[in-house]
Amino acid sequence: MSPERGGFRGNKQSLPSKACAVCGRPMTWRKSWAKNWDSVKYCSERCRRDGKPRVVKK
Ligand SMILES: [Zn+2]
């Protein structure tokens, strides 16, 4: 039995991450998001557009 097994391969997990609000993919912290990390909800421009609630015109 190896204690190293268990899914953790020793990669540095120091950077914060969270899931995209649209596709659910994990987003890893980027330097460009440093200032607005709290407001980042989408992994890409595409998701950001898709994630915007569309106003349903009646
Ligand atoms: Zn996404």
**In the chain, where are the structural domains located?**
17-51
Mean of per-residue pLDDT scores for the chain: 82
How high is the pLDDT of residue 44? Answer: 92
pTM: 0.61
Alpha helix ranges (H) inside 6-57: 45-51
Distance 55 CA to ligand 1 centre (A): 20
pLDDT at 47 over 60: yes
Distance 18 CA to ligand 1 centre (A): 11
Distance 19 CA to ligand 1 centre (A): 8
Confidence of residue 15 (pLDDT cuts 50, 70, 90): confident
Taking only Cα atoms into account, the Rg of the chain, rounded to an integer number of angstroms, comes to 16
Of 28, 32, 30, the closest CA to residue 13 belongs to: 28
Q: Name 20's Cβ contacts closer than 8 Å, sequence gap at least 6.
A: 26, 27, 41, 42, 43, 44, 47
Distance 41 CA to ligand 1 centre (A): 8
Distance 58 CA to ligand 1 centre (A): 29
How high is the pLDDT of residue 2? Answer: 56
The residue ranges of DSSP E strands in 1-58, in sequence order, are: 17-19, 26-28
Confidence of residue 6 (pLDDT cuts 50, 70, 90): low
